[in-house]
Homo-oligomer: A and B are copies of this chain.
Amino acid sequence: MGGPLDKARNAEMNRKAAIIGGGVIGGGWAARFLLNGWDVGVFDPDPEAERKIAAVMSNARLALPALSDVPMPAEGKLTFHGTIGEAVEGAEYVQESVSERIELKHKVYAQLQQAHPGVLIGSSTSGFKASDLQKGSPAPQNIIVAHPFNPVYLLPLSEVSGSPANPPAVVEKTVEIMKAIGMFPLVIRHEIDAFIGNRFLEAVWREALWMLKDGIATTEEIDEAIRMGFGLRWGQMGLFETYRIAGGEAGMRHFMAQFGPTLKWPWSKLMDVPEFNEELVDLVAGQSDAQSGMYGIRELERIRDRNLVGFLRSLKESNWGAGKVLLEHDAARAAVFNAEMAKGLDTAAKAAPLVMYQGQVLPGWIDYNGHMTESRYYFVNSETVDNLLRTIGAGMDYVAAGHSFYSAETHIRHLGEAKLGDQVRGELQIISADEKRFRSFVRVMVGDTCVATIEQLCLHVNMAEGKSAPASAEVWAKLKAIAEAHAGLPLPEGAGRAVGQKK
């Protein structure tokens, strides 16, 4: 089912990453690299590694592409290897995600650096400093921390933390690679155990364990306290920006004055650490079973992913926080896609419909019949026509300058069904056009099946005057060229129909 972009990408040489350790974190990294078109070589002695990574990939394939408004590149090639040396062959980057044992990590680095001297190694360690990781290495400068958060294929944060042994070029290279796979690299200024994120998580974890132990709340009640309140805030602003608002019109200083004194109040048990013993483990695990045991882990993962996709898409709509990262990643990839689209336009001379949209049916697009909800077929048409407009020079800049095409009238036939995860394509044919209007006919395709057709009349409008006006000469020339090429195509079956009209 590959689109034009797939072909473009397959023609190039893929970049390659090696993944050492294929658990939840290693698998998440593998998925992110693969879905961004990198080849991935995996080393993990666990005989279950292949199955485990396949499970992560099947989640990731549903989720990550749902964040993209630019077609994804063709998936990279995934290979499994019996030795570290084989896995790292040809790789420009290694992500190490083995257990948190420093001797094990040192052993892995030694093998990597022997097989592929000079390769850049990022570690997923939750807490070791880069200088700890680098000890005993012949090339400490190539070992750095790149600490992600689960699920790695959805959450953008990668804490990049080097030691004084890492030259700026190594940090920059790590940042470049993180950005290439759509992550948000946060370079930490000074080495510190557990970096930033895990220090907060550790603080909350300690406090939570005290509350459980003291019978103040159950695991479920603690989770509700988080996700019904400040958890919602923190996905879009962090701690300080949130508190700045809490200070109201008087701002951050007012907030500090109000809550500063609480530092001395008995609001925390954090002066002490609860004893970690079997009894505590039983308490936590038992309550967690009562809370979430009705869901399997895969089910919980999919629920989580669906929610995260919803959050991230909503941030994307407001170009804010993690949504900004997604938009920037799209923009970088759109350059490639647009070049392909422009080539697609050359085929107009060959009198063929233009493929102007490719996308994936997202969870929020489904109705209670389990099909893509009817208004989303119209949405696919809108995206298809908008891409045509961008291509002929009538995009956002043109609108900003005061002209736009407005939809006047639309006719839709529902001929089949698109389902969750389907790749849908919008193929556009111009039926007629003049300086002031055009009639388009879009076929919404799933593979070779036409699931809907949309016929539409768009009027060119001078927005300030609020009335119909001729398009600019440049726009009209491009539109005319397409219309002339399409004049040779047969009038599509179903064009010109009224609702309920006999055939």
Contact = CB atoms under 8 A, between A and B. Distances in A.
A381 B317 CA distance: 24
A24 B246 contact: yes
A307 interface: yes
Given A201-B230, A231-B231, A206 B318 contact: no
Contacts of A242: 150, 304
A374 B257 CA distance: 49
A464 interface: no
A222 B238 contact: yes
A486 to B, nearest CB: 16
A interface SS class? helix
A60 to B, nearest CB: 14
Interface in A319-340: 320-322, 325
B407 A374 contact: yes
Contact of A260 (B157, B190, B281, B289): B281
A: contact size bracket: 35 or more
Nearest to A463: B369
Interface stretch (A70-78, A162-170, A308-316): A308-316
A149 B215 contact: no
A118 interface: no
A151 B457 CA distance: 44
A498 to B, nearest CB: 4
B230 A200 contact: yes
A11 interface: no
Nearest to A272: B271
A489 interface: no
Contacts of A156: 228-229
Nearest to A415: B408
Contacts of A306: 318
A232 B310 contact: no
A56 to B, nearest CB: 10
A447 interface: no
Contact of A241 (B202, B266, B292): B292
A214 B193 CA distance: 13
A244 interface: yes
B223 A241 contact: yes
Nearest to A198: B267
A226 to B, nearest CB: 4
CB-based closest 4 A-B pairs: A310-B314, A223-B238, A231-B234, A157-B229
20 contacts: A126-B259, A186-B224, A194-B262, A195-B225, A196-B211, A196-B216, A197-B229, A199-B269, A201-B239, A202-B267, A223-B240, A233-B308, A234-B234, A234-B235, A244-B292, A264-B276, A318-B363, A369-B404, A369-B463, A373-B382
Given A150-B245, A252-B284, A375-B381, 7 more contacts: A155-B230, A198-B267, A201-B230, A206-B268, A208-B239, A235-B311, A253-B281
